[in-house]
Amino acid sequence: MKKGIILLLFLFRILLQPHAKPFVLSGSLPLMAKETVRLQFVSTPFQTEINELPFEIDSNGSFKIQVNFYEGQILSFVSGKLMFRFYADPDDSLVVVEKMENGKSKIHFTGKGAEQANFVNQKSVYFSKNIESISYSHDLILEMTNRNAENFKKYCDSVSNVKLKYLKKYKAKLSPGFYQWQQAEDIYEAANIKINYPVWYYSMRGIDNKQLPVDTGYYNFLNLTVVNNDLAVSSSQYRNFLKYYLIHKFIERKQQPEAMLAYRESDTFFTGKVLQTFRLQLWNEIILFGNFSDATAMYSTLKTLYNAEPDYRLLETKYKEKLPFSTEAWAPGFELPDLNGNKISLESLKGKIVYLDFWASWCGPCLGEMPASEKLKEHFAGKDVVFVNVSIDQNEEAWKKSVARNKITGINLIGPNHASDIGKNYKVLSIPSYFLIDRDGKFLSAPAQRPSQKVIYQQIEEALKK
């Protein structure tokens, strides 16, 4: 809700993904003859942007297109004259026609999946003037402003109940799978708004880092919310709920909701298919937006647990595409000053295993890893391993004081920032970032595991044997 949707414009191509199936949409829309229109959809559940496929309706108003996608979803058909929404599952084949009734245009679907498509289209029209209107986000702000916390919760529940009542009226006509999906969308949408209300109260007005105080009993509604719901894992609202729920639990325990903590603690809150769904969604977000060394830290465990799952294989492809360097690629050379101003180069360290740590004095997560880093250094003391700490501090004095204060051993060098040559050459987008380099100067792991991850001990031991 806080971020706008980014539309990805692209020429039509069939997107081949594991278990993705072709969806066919055809129809007769004479009032839109010769017009270029767009179909909006997502190919996989891990996309953060919407695919937008442009195509042309012929002179008779006819068209036929095919797209591949991974799971059932709501699609949008957009033109200069008309916009409508409908639901489709992979492998559905829908035919759409436009009729004029009482001077108004009406869309109707036939074909495989028509019941679900018509339901969503009719529902969006039915609620278009209120709870599914274009201005609903603005209306929600007004409701937040005009109601106290308890009354706002009641308002959210009333909206959800209206939607669920409308859904139940058509239950006999809808497929069981779609009914469960739509039910989850409605229930967990309300839960998401309620759980985020204290933060969204300000953020939806453009005010960040501020939270509305609420009574401890405000969150009691979570006791009545099904957290582990295997039947809801295909619902995007439910998947968002899992993330918001875990963040809430960490804040409740006065813990910083960091990615690796969320990964380690996830099995405390989630089980089975839900746990798998949460972990893969978390991995996806880290691959896209987080510290890539965290994505690498999760990789081997996720591969062991979920290698047979299509969702995992989708993400593994994305992960490998985003790896900054391939294994055995040459590590970029560098020459940087140490604490005494002496220049140290990567070339001078050949013959030893190099564990490279990019950090800064102002970086909390970086400093949080330092105790584990010192234990790692102690473990390999006297072995052919050197630990090189490259600070990206712009303030040299702050760097030196932090090294002394935190008793950071090893070879300490300064960058001095992300834009420096070494930062660019190593594609450092966030810190801390780690790299493991072999005796010849080739990458063993890029990025490498954090010092707090036990697997880094094994990787260094194996490197020393070569």
How confident is the model over 264-291, as pLDDT tens digits?
999 999 999 999 999 999 999 998 887 7
CA–CA distance, 219 with 227 (Å, rounded to integer): 14
Cβ-based neighbours of 412, under 8 Å, separated by 6 or more: 338, 339, 389, 391, 399, 403
Q: How many angstroms separate the Cα of 66 from the Cα of each of 63, 110, 115, 117, 136?
A: 10, 16, 20, 16, 32
- Asked if pLDDT for residue 18 goes beyond 80, the answer is no
CA–CA distance, 316 with 318 (Å, rounded to integer): 5
- Sheet-wide strand order for 104-112: 62-69, 21-28, 93-101, 104-112
Are 369 and 450 in contact by the 8 Å Cβ rule? The answer is: yes
pLDDT at 408: 96
Question: CATH 2.60.40 occupies which residues in the chain?
Answer: 6-126
Neighbours of 167 (CB within 10 A): 18
Measured in residues, the chain has a length of 466
More confident residue, 417 or 383: 383
CA–CA distance, 87 with 185 (Å, rounded to integer): 13
Are 228 and 274 in contact by the 8 Å Cβ rule? The answer is: yes
What's the predicted TM-score (pTM) here? 0.75
pLDDT at 17: 43
Q: Which of 393, 392, 359, 389 is nearest to 376 (CA)?
A: 389
CA–CA distance, 45 with 284 (Å, rounded to integer): 10
What is the dotted CATH code of the domain comprising 6-126?
2.60.40
Query: What average pLDDT is seen over the chain?
Result: 89
List the end-to-end C-alpha distance of the chain, in Å, as a whole number.
Answer: 51
Question: CATH 3.40.30.10 occupies which residues in the chain?
Answer: 335-464
pLDDT tens readout for residues 347-363: 999 999 999 999 999 98
The domain covering 335-464 belongs, at the CATH homologous superfamily level, to: Glutaredoxin (3.40.30.10)
